[in-house]
Every structure is written in structure tokens, then in C-alpha cells.
Amino acid sequence: MSIDDIYARAELSLQQRTNGQTEVMIHADEMTALLQALSTNKIKLETQNEVLRQTQDAFAALKNRYFDLYNFTPVAYFTLNIQGDILETNLRATQLLGIKPYFTKNESLFSYLTKPSQSVFHQHIQTLCQQKNRQLCELEIICAVNKELLYVRVESLPILSGDNTQVDKIFTSFTDISDCKHAENLLRIQRDLSFNLITATDLSSASQQILEACCQIREIDCGGVYLSHPESGDLSLIAHTGLTDTFVAKTHYYPANSVEAQLTQAGHSLYAHFKDLPLARIACLASEGLQATAILPIQNEGKIIGAMQLASHIYQHISPNSRHAIETIANKIHGVIAHLSAEDANRRKLSAEIASRAKTEFIANMSHELRTPLNSLLILAEGLQEGTYGELNSRQQHFLHVIEESGRHLLSLINDILDLAKIEADKVELNLQLLAVEPVCQASLRLVRQMAHQKKQQLHFDIAEIGLMLYSDERRLKQILVNLLNNAIKFTPVKGTIGLKVHTNAAQKQIFFTVWDTGIGISLEDQKRLFTAFVQLNKKENKEYEGTGLGLNLVYHLVKLHGGSINVASEPLFGSHFIVGLPWQTDLEKQQTNTALIEQKHTVIRPATQINILLVEDNIITAQGLCDYLENIGYNVTLAETGTQALQWAQTQAPHLILLDIQLPELDGLSVTQQIRANVKTAHIPIVILTAMAMPGDREKCLAIGATDYLSKPITLKHLITMIERLCQT
């Protein structure tokens, strides 16, 4: 009997016992076989149960493993219904939204999206439900914790109903792409800013561009750039955006001791809510409705030169991504400062060169325009006094003398202007030579004696020792002394006293020239401006005392060229002392000098032979005066009024000498000179250039192209005759 038959008999016996029937008898051997079979089955069942338990444990471990992967993956997963309500999330999703785990169920995902993204996600769900396939989009979400704006890439899959006809649920993943978006946005801002900065010509316009670029960052909507005064440390607003006029009016300037200036000088970036700032700052920011603020120092060559202040009217916090963007953009200003500094230096240098050239040209033209009529005036006056046009009575001689004196005074003013121009152009070279001091002083006093006599003033001269010698430029030293003496006479009342005192200091190796007076004196405040060009001390004096304000400035520069110094000691109403100190060598050989200056009158000698002079001059009055004077002496003069005529007559007339003006019609004097020198027939003729453009380098330029000599207008007829005699004899 098989084991199955034994199982059947045992079940039948059990059933009969239950029903009260007579049991089927089971033999002992059958019972033994049954027990063995049951024992075997028990072992099998226990084995199967162990395998099942192990399988369950493995499944639980695998489940936990995949649950951890689901939770801790960098991708946020959501299970949604078709209305967008959250049914299930992983841990990353709750972190991304800034909420606690397990508290998202049945919340709408739309509540975490920006308004523009809500519309995008609504369309995203509609398309997924219609097409029942994978859908992609990009959204902006707002973290519930810090309100930070995050960018996510969205991928959604439909979960269909049992019959596969409807979308039952949506499985959605969010991948954080904020870093990429911020980097893209920053690159775009930087690109646009770099392009805009090309047109910035100064720090103010560049700062404005940088501020507007910073305001493209989400948490920033306003700001200003302040520059620190290099000496006082005060802050001044040079650019702003997004601020009200009232706020700008209150904050356009901060003194050095203000909270704002102190925060700037701290030297590090500050990010804070306005309530976290010092009390003095809170009220001001609150009045504008500002929340989050940032202060970034501006540096140049290691020094803090200002600050950029940024703020938001909406956000209370500036995110790390925005801080990085702000600092990246703000760093542009450092490069701009360096670039603009170099560019500004080049621009200033170029402007200075252009201004210098323009000034030189202006002064040269002004010199020509002033000297040309002045030359005619002085030539005619001198010619009349010499009797060229007939004898004059004493009254006429007196008035001619007044005319000439006034002309010479005007000439001295023009010469002062030209001397200053030469000094500024570094064209003045001192002709240093050993000279006796006393004769120079006496000559200077003689030049101003007539002016002092007219005001009934006394002139005093005091020299420490006779025979003092000095290495100096005689003409320039005389110019210094005459200017100081003229000023002393001018500002000293009638019957006052003026003096010139000379003494030495062997220890200091200096010689001192002191010009003193009993005049109106000078206040301490006015003494600070005394040596500035074109400055006269006050309006009253401008009316009462004539002058250009150039004399003392010229004196100052001439003294400096000598390596000396000039100082003034004065009080109002108690006169003035101007002390000029010049280097002096104590071992110079002392020589006795004759202090009497003998004025020698030039005697005009008529030429023994006929001398032909070609005068090239387009100014009719000047030409007429020169022709009359030269012909009266005995010279034969031919007049050419243009450069072209000069070239023709230089060949046909064969003159012994050519007097040539520079500014001529058709062909200028320099070109005429070059062409005369280039022609074998005329190359030997002496050429004296007469010009009213007495600027630095003019003489050298004229001699370099072939001129024999050079005279600056207005010329003196005696000097001209002396030069003609010298050149025609050679």
C-alpha cells in the first residue's frame, strides 16, 4: 500500500470518528509509515519556510536600498495627481521645496512656483494628459525656507489607469539647474556690460553701467556708487539707479566720520538686512523702504577709494548665488578704474599737448597781430624823431616821445607774455656769465627813475661792498629787478620811498637783492596768490593800478631758472620787502667796476656806395615807414608785397640784402628763404627775417632754413641800420 493510500485511510478514519461512525482500522505498520511520511513533510515545510523568510528579508533589504536611492538621489521625485497635488515625494524633493518630509501630501505643487512658471506647468500637465507620453519643461521655484529662486528642469511620465485609457497619476522629476542658469545669466550680464563699458568715457558713466548690470540680479533693484575724497575721506555720490530723488538728496554726500564712510573704510564686503546695520543707518534706509543691503569697497592700487552700495526694496536676503554675481560684476569697476586712469592720463597728456600747441599758436598769432601795428607805430615815431620827414619843434618832439614811450610799454607787456610762454615751453636758456652786480643794479634803477620822478618818489640804492661779481644772465637779472622796482613804484603813493639793497651771505653762498617800498603793503592772504599769473589782488587795485598781473609770475620763474628763491615780507599800510636770493660763489675775483653808464648815441653813417635792399613786407604802413627811413639815409629800396614778387625780384634786382617778413600772401617767408637759398644766382644774398611772431624756437627755425639773421618786431631803426651795415660790409 502506497503512502497516498495510507493518507486516504487516515483521513477516512478521522472523518468516521468525527461523525460517530465505526472507524476504519489502521494497522500498526501503516501508522508507522504514516508517521514517517508526516515527519518528512514537516522537514520539507520547515525548509520551505526558511527559504521564504530569507527571501522576505532579502526583499526588505532591497526595498530599503532602493528607497534610500530614491530619497537621496540629487533628483527630486514627485508623484502627482492630474491637478498637480503632491501624493508622494522623495527626500530631495522636500529639501528642494524647503519643507519638512512627509508634510507635502495633498499640497499643490503650484504653490511653490513663480507666477510665470505656474502657467508653464499647467500647460505641461495638459499636454501630458493629452499625449500620454514623456514631457519636458523648465520652471522657477521658490524655496519656502529662504525664498531663494531656484531653476529646475522638469521631466514627467504618465501613470495610466487599468484600461490604459486615462492618465491616473503623474510621475515627475525636478533637476536643479540653478548653478547653470546663474552662470548663464552672469555671462550674459558680463557680456552686455563689457560691450556697454566700451562707450564709458569716465568713472561716473562706467559706474552707472555697472550699477544697472547689478540690478539685473534678482535680489537687487537699486544702488549707488560713492567716491572717497583723497584728502578728507568724505564720500560723494557719482552714480545711482532705482532710488527716489528725495533719498538721493539725503545721501549724495557723507562726511568722513559718518557710519557710511566708516563701513566703506572697513575694506570688506558687507551683506545684511537693513535692521542689522548701525542705528544711524536704519532710519535712512527705512524711509526708502529698503530691505537687504550690500556694501562693497572699491579699491585702486591697494587703496580704498570708494564703495558700491546695493539694495532691494523687496527681498530681505541676498542669496549666495546673487552675492557671487554681485562681486563678479562689481570687480569690473576695479579694471575700469585702472583702464580709465591710464586712458585719462593719456587723454590729459594729449589734451595738454594740444592745449600747449594751441596756446603757442594763439600767443604767436596774438604776438603777430599786436607787434605788426606796434612795429609800424614805433618805426614812424622813431623816423619822425630822426627828422626823416622834416624838422619838428620841441612840443611835437615831446608828444612823439610820449607815443614811443607808450608803445615801448605795450611792447614790454607783450614781451612778458611771450617770456612766460617760452618758460612754460622750456625754451628759455640762461646766458650765464660773470658780471658785475653794481652796474646791473644801477642800470635797472635808471630804467625806472623817470617813472619814480613822475610820482615824486625817492630811490635808494645800498650795496654791501663794491666790486661784487655774480654768474648770472644779465638781461634776465635786470628783468627781475626792473619788474620788482616797477611794482614798488606802482603801489607806493606819491612822495613815497623805494629802495634796492644788495648783500651777501657767505655761509649760505647766496647773494640777496631786496626791493623795498613804503607802499600800501600786502595782506597774508593775498601773499599766497602773489606769484600766480594773471592775478591782481582786488577789484579796487585793478581799477587804480594798471598791469596784467604777469610781472611777479615772470619774476618767480626767472628766479627759479637761476636756482634761486623769492620771498615777501609785508603788512597792509606798512610797505613791502621782496627778497630775491641767488646762488653766489664767494671765491669770485672782485673787480672794480665803473658804475657810471655812458649812453652812446648811435650816429647814422650814410653808405659810401649804393646799396640795394629788397624789402618784402605786406603791411603798407610798416613798409612805407621803413622805405622812407632807409631811403632818407641813402639806401636804394625795392618793395615786394608778396612771396612770389620777392622770388622774382631777388633774381632780377640782385639786391645786396633782403629784409623779409614771414607772414606773406601767396608764399610765406620761410618758403621764400628756402627757394632763394636753393637758387645758385641768389643763394649768396644775406636775408634778415623780420617777424612779429617771436615765439620759442622761431629764431633757430629761421636760421636753420637759411636766414642770415633774425629781428623780432617791433624793431628799432638804429638796431636795423647797425645790422645792415654789418652784413653789407661782409
Let me know: does 103 contact 123? Beta carbons within 8 Å: no
Beta bridge pairs of residue 173: 77, 155
pLDDT higher than threshold 70 for residue 426? no
Q: Is 10 helix (H, G, I), strand (E, B) or coil?
A: helix
Q: With 90 as the cut, is the pLDDT of residue 318 above it?
A: no
DSSP 662: S
- For Cα atoms 565, 567, 568, give the angle at the middle one, nearest 5 degrees: 160
- 270 and 262 in contact (C-beta within 8 Å)? no
For 415, the 3-state DSSP assignment is helix
CATH topology (fold) of 200-318:
Beta-Lactamase (3.30.450)
Lowest mean pLDDT among 99-103, 385-389, 507-511: 99-103
Band of pLDDT at residue 419, cut at 50, 70 and 90: confident
Q: For residues 690 and 616, what is the distance between their CA atoms, to the nearest angstrom?
A: 9
Q: Indicate the range of 44-48, 51-55, 235-239, 370-374 predicted with least confidence.
A: 370-374
Q: Which three cell numbers stand for residue 396?
A: 611835437
Task: Name the range with the highest mean pLDDT among 409-413, 595-599, 618-622, 626-630.
Answer: 626-630
Residues whose CB falls within 8 Å of the CB of residue 185, separated by 6 or more in sequence, listed in order: 216, 325
How many residues are listed for the chain in this entry? 730
With 90 as the cut, is the pLDDT of residue 279 above it? no
Query: Which residues lie closer than 8 Å to 558 by C-beta, 6 or more apart?
Result: 419, 423, 476, 479, 480
Task: Answer positive or negative: Cα dihedral of 707, 712, 714, 719.
Answer: negative
Could you tell me the fold of the domain covering 74-181?
Beta-Lactamase (3.30.450)
Q: What is the mean pLDDT of residues 143-150?
A: 82
How crowded is residue 438: how many other Cβ atoms within 10 Å of its Cβ?
A: 20
Which ranges of 605-716 does DSSP label H, i.e. alpha helix?
620-633, 643-652, 669-678, 698-704
- Mean residue pLDDT across the chain: 82
- Report the interhelical angle of 332-385 vs 394-424 (nearest 10°): 160
Look at residue 406 in the predicted model and tell me its pLDDT.
74
Model pLDDT for residues 114-132, shown as the tens digit of each residue: 999 999 999 999 999 999 9
C-beta of residue 104 within 8 angstroms of C-beta of residue 89: yes
Q: Is the pLDDT of residue 589 over 60?
A: no
- Whether the Cβ atoms of residue 309 and residue 223 lie closer than 8 Å to each other: yes
How far is the C-alpha of 219 from the C-alpha of 146, rounded, in Å? 12
Smallest Cα–Cα separation from 325: which of 271, 285, 277? 271
Residue pointed to by grid coordinates 566703506: 264
Q: How many C-beta atoms lie closer than 10 Å to residue 463's C-beta? A: 18
List the one residue out of 696, 698, 688, 697 whose CA is nearest residue 722.
688
pLDDT score, position 105: 65
The answer to whether 530 and 577 are in contact (CB under 8 A) is no
Judged against a pLDDT cut of 50, whether residue 540 lies above it is answered with no
Cα 139 to Cα 223: distance, rounded to the nearest angstrom: 29
When pLDDT is averaged across residues 669-686 and rounded to a whole number, the result is 93
Find where cell 631811403 sits.
Answer: 631
Nearest to 380, CA basis, from 348, 407, 398, 340: 407
Q: CA-based Rg of the chain, rounded to a whole angstrom?
A: 53
Q: With bands split at pLDDT 50, 70 and 90, how would you rate the model's confidence at 488? A: very high
Fold of 612-729: Rossmann fold (3.40.50)
Most confident of 89-103, 365-379, 499-513: 499-513
Choose between 69 and 138: higher pLDDT.
138
Query: Given the C-alpha cell 629784409, which residue does it identify?
Result: 659
Q: What does the pLDDT read at residue 624?
A: 83
- Domain boundaries defined on the chain: 3-70, 74-181, 200-318, 429-583, 612-729
Provide CATH code, domain 429-583.
3.30.565.10
Strand partners, 271: 294
pLDDT in tens, 427-481: 677 888 899 999 999 988 988 888 899 899 999 999 988 788 999 998 889 989 9
Confidence (pTM): 0.43
Work out the burial of residue 270: count CB atoms within 10 Å of its CB; fewer than 13 is exposed, 13-18 middle, 19 or more buried: middle
Two domains, one topology: 74-181 and 200-318? yes
